[in-house]
Structure 1
Amino acid sequence: MTDTRTTTQQLQQIARLWPDLTDALSAPTHHSWPPVELKGYLNAMERMDSVEAAALRALERSPDQLGTRPVPISLRIHDTMRAVEAALLDTADRIARTVQRTPIQPPPPARAATARTRGERLVWQDRARRIEQARQDSADPRRWHTVGAGRTAIRAALWLSGRAGGASGPFRMLSAAEEQHLARVAAGALGRVESALDLADQRRELTAEHPCQCGGTIEVYGGAGAHPVARCKGCGAIWSESGVVAA
């Protein structure tokens, strides 16, 4: 399905959903996608080898994945968070280097002296004003910093949302190429987040090794909280978790 939300809306949605990802990290659940839980014929085709499954379960519960943790973690959620955060931070760094104005430079150091005339006082007052202006411009909270604190997925998503929406600040507007690149990153990142949280409608075709008994290709629908359903594109047979619905 085509996501009709704007880039700004997609990035803001990522920021809103990030706490849900954090909660899901320590609460592994069985998602309905991919649809490996379909019973009967489809379940047999999609069943994972028991040895491999045991190894994956052991790995998912390994505290070495994110350091020592008191509870198991979901590798699926962890991998999603790591990939999305890396993409957002890298994109923010790249865009900031091209659209963010260089901070105002303070005046060069000068030897302290006593202002003896009105003219000298005005010079020192102007110098103090320029120093404060440079300090405030460098500390502008709207700026993106490629080093230091504040480099989080939520902060990057909201900062990029501001750039996509043309919010005011020490920046120029995005070019057409930058808008297109940011749109691709936002759509891809949100897709991964919603998929990890089982919020997005999804569909895929099973591999050629798993055809229907009639030889047709099986397409599976699921996600967005709905139970997965499989349908043969050849004979029209439909399966759900409870087995064959129609043939």
Structure 2
Amino acid sequence: MTTTATHLRTIAVHWHDLHEAAGTPVIAGAFGLGLRGYLARLDDLDADRALMDAALARAAERADSNPEALGERPVPVRLSVLDTMRAVEAALVDCADQTAAVVQRSPMAYAPRGWPDADRARRDQLARADALDPRRWRYTGCRTAPYAALWLLARVTRAAGPFTALPEREERRIAVVAAGAAGRVERALDIAAQRRTLEQRHDCGGAIDVHGGEGRQPLAHCTGCGQVWTEGGVVAA
């Protein structure tokens, strides 16, 4: 069984791959965008998708028309991958914020003024170290998806630090967020097995199933007559 820890590791390990994939243009194929393109776009059904695409397109157009802009223009960008990265990062950071609010212990207090100087110095040194403990989740600064994934991974694996025990409710929430985020990452990179049934029917009236992912060549087949397609066209009938 795939565990929450595995999902979080998947996100951290493949985040750089997403950055690279975001700059890769989709290659059109037999189904307009190709079966691979179709599978990649199945997850892009958020209500604000059109508004986000339009805003990004306007920003890209302004950058391309700027004579001072550097680099190759226009820059190829896969908006579906960028959307995935934004959604995953927002979900993980929000989950880390909520988890930290529950389990992260407040920093040690500094010594009262009335303490002896030596004791006060030792206590203040401990308090500073506790406040600056790198294991603490910060509400400012580094709030990236891979960092949030690794921080959450440390919580579900019960790593030491300035934290109380992780309640079952928080562990369930992390599990749900991690599974959803890892699924998006895997689909965006085409490293997860997928199967979908198209709304459109084949000429014979049969349903069209699309299979792909895990690095395999996507294909579709008609459940009625048995016809099979790949991105290159019909391969069997």
Q: TM > 0.5 between the two?
A: yes
Aligned residue for 1:42? none
Scaled by the length of structure 2, the TM-score of the pair is 0.79
> What is the distance in 2 between the residues matched to 1:28 and 1:164?
37
Residue 140 of structure 1 deviates from its aligned partner by 0.5
Aligned to 1:18: 15
Instruction: Return closer, same or farther for 1:146/1:188 CA change in 2, 3 Å cut-off.
Output: same
In structure 2, how many angstroms separate the alpha carbons of the residues matched to 1:35 and 1:181? 38
Which residue, 206, 218, 221 being the options, matches 1:216? 206
* Aligned mate of 2:215, from 198, 217, 225: 225
Aligned sequence identity (%): 48
Question: CA–CA distance in 1 between the matches of 2:236 and 2:219?
Answer: 11
Does the Cα contact within 8 Å between 2:196 and 2:210 map onto a contact in 1?
yes
Instruction: Quote the residue 1:117 is aligned against.
Output: none
Partner Cα distance (1:64, 1:108) in 2: 57
Distance 1:23 1:137 in 2: 37
Amino acid at match of 1:84: V
CA distance in 1 between counterparts of 2:58 and 2:191 reads 22
Among 151, 172, 181, the alignment partner of 1:180 is: 172
1:124-181 Cα offsets, whole Å, 9 max, x none, are 111111111111111011000112x111111111000101111111112222221111
Amino acid at match of 2:5: T
TM-score, with length taken from structure 1: 0.76
In the TM superposition, 1:126-137 aligns within 5 A as 126-137=119-130
2:93 maps to 89
Indicate the SS of the match to 1:160: helix
Counterpart mapping for 1:16-55 below 5 A: 16-30=13-27, 36-37=33-34
Q: Mark the structure with the bigger radius of gyration.
A: 1
Q: Specify whether residues 102 and 64 from structure 1 end up closer, same or farther in structure 2 by C-alpha distance, changes over 3 A only.
A: farther
**Any idea what SS the aligned residue of 1:62 has?**
helix
Q: Indicate whether 1:77 and 2:81 are aligned.
A: yes
Please state how far the C-alpha of 1:245 moved relative to its aligned partner: 3.2
Matched, 1:6 2:6: no
Q: Residue 236 of structure 1: SS of its match in structure 2?
A: coil
The answer (yes or no) to whether the contact 2:26–2:33 under 8 Å persists in 1 is no
**Retained in 2: the 8 A contact 1:84–1:153?**
yes
Counterpart of 2:50? none
Aligned residues: 212
* Structure 1 unaligned spans of 5+: 39-54, 111-119
CA distance in 2, matches of 1:164, 1:35: 43
Pairing 1:132-211 to 2, within 5 Å after superposition: 132-147=125-140, 149-207=141-199, 210-211=200-201
Runs of 4+ aligned residues of structure 1 deviating over 4 Å after TM superposition are none
What's the offset of the Cα at 1:109? 4.3
Q: Which secondary structure state, in structure 1, belongs to the residue aligned with residue 203 of structure 2? A: coil
In structure 2, distance between residues paired with 1:69 and 1:77: 23
Structure 1 residues 242 and 72: CA distance shift in structure 2, 3 A: closer
Residue equivalent to 2:42: none
* Amino acid aligned to 1:232: C
Give SS of 2:34's match.
coil
